[in-house]
């Protein structure tokens, strides 16, 4: 938990902290869909056998290979930088008392970011500094939007329109590639939903996010091209 006396080693602007550098996928929130879809595939991932899902941006193809991390530790321009990265090394945690989850959230900080020579977040009187006020605003907005994202994922799952899929590609050189463990919306099942469900999804902004997700899947080709450019090779996806 963050307290007012902590000094935090805040990453330099544009520099990625080590904990982020090897991630090949990042959770995203509903408001980010239009921005994320410009550069990354958006997929749905479940860690509990389909009981719940989360929306993720895919950053790479291959274990530990983030295709948007440059050699100098910066994020590859001009790609959108997800809020998950921008809010690091802070997060919001739920508070449970007597088995009940409270509405309040607790601001937490990564332990490895705490440094004696780190940046103060509050002044000597306990008043938040402008930089922390901005970061806290991002945390609060991101946390609220994750709630809306979870509700969207739950609606898609309850309507039975999510399906697992695997992205496969055959490079001109080297072994074939496969990226699994992902989910997408089945357009035929979506089209077969009752009008009332479609109307509710449209009113809640879910339907627009669904089509943004479907359009973003074409970015797997861009990931392959980026991977090939970085390796000096070319690869073509297979249906």
- Helices 130-158 and 206-216 pack at an angle, to 10 degrees, of 90
- Check residues 3 and 103 and name the one with the higher pLDDT: 3
Alpha-carbon span 229 to 160, nearest angstrom: 38
pLDDT digit string (tens) for 175-209?
Answer: 777 888 999 999 999 999 999 999 999 998 999 99
Report whether pLDDT(239) > 50.
no
Give the mean pLDDT of the chain.
Answer: 89
The phi and psi torsions of 4 (rounded to 5 degrees) equal -70, -10
Provide the percentage of residues in the chain whose pLDDT is more than 70.
95
Determine the average pLDDT of the residues in 123-148: 94
List helix spans (H) across 159-237. 187-191, 195-203, 206-216, 219-231
Specify the pLDDT at position 237. Answer: 54
Q: Work out the pLDDT band at 82, boundaries 50, 70, 90.
A: very high
* pLDDT tens-digit series, residues 5-28: 999 988 777 778 887 888 999 999
Q: Model confidence over 117-127: pLDDT tens digits?
A: 899 999 999 99
The SS3 of residue 142 is helix
Identify the pLDDT of residue 238.
52
Q: What 3-state DSSP class applies to 90?
A: strand
Specify the range with the lowest mean pLDDT, choosing from 72-76, 108-112, 188-192: 72-76
- Residue 172's pLDDT is 64
Q: What is the mean pLDDT of residues 200-228?
A: 93
> At what angle are helices 195-203 and 206-216 packed, to 10 degrees?
90
| Percentage, residues of the chain above pLDDT 90 | 64
Q: How far is CA 140 from CA 15, 25, 30, 147, 212, in A?
A: 23, 22, 14, 11, 24
Length of the chain: 239
Convert the pLDDT of each residue in 144-177 to its tens digit. Answer: 999 999 999 999 999 999 999 998 877 666 677 7
Please report the pLDDT score of residue 233 as a whole number.
Answer: 45
């Amino acid at each position: 938990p963050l307290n007012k006396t902590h000094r935090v080693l805040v990453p330099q602007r544009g520099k990625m902290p080590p904990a982020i550098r090897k991630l090949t996928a990042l959770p995203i929130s509903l408001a980010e869909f239009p921005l994320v879809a410009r550069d990354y595939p958006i997929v749905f991932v479940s860690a509990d056998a389909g009981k719940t899902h989360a929306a993720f941006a895919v950053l790479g193809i291959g274990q530990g290979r983030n295709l948007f991390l440059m050699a100098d530790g910066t994020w590859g321009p001009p790609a959108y930088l997800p809020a998950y990265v921008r809010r690091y090394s802070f997060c919001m945690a739920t508070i449970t008392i007597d088995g009940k989850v409270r509405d309040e959230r607790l601001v937490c900080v990564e332990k490895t970011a705490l440094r004696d020579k780190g940046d103060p977040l509050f002044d000597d009187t306990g008043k938040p500094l402008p930089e922390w006020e901005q970061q806290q605003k991002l945390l609060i907005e991101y946390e609220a939007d994750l709630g809306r994202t979870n509700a969207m994922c739950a609606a898609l799952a309850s309507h039975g329109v999510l399906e697992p899929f695997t992205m496969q590609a055959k490079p001109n050189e080297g072994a074939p590639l496969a990226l699994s463990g992902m989910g997408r919306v089945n357009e035929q099942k979506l089209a077969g939903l009752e009008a009332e469900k479609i109307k509710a999804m449209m009113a809640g902004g879910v339907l627009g996010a669904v089509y943004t997700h479907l359009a973003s899947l074409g970015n797997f080709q861009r990931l392959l091209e980026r991977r090939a450019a970085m390796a000096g090779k070319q690869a073509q996806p297979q249906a």
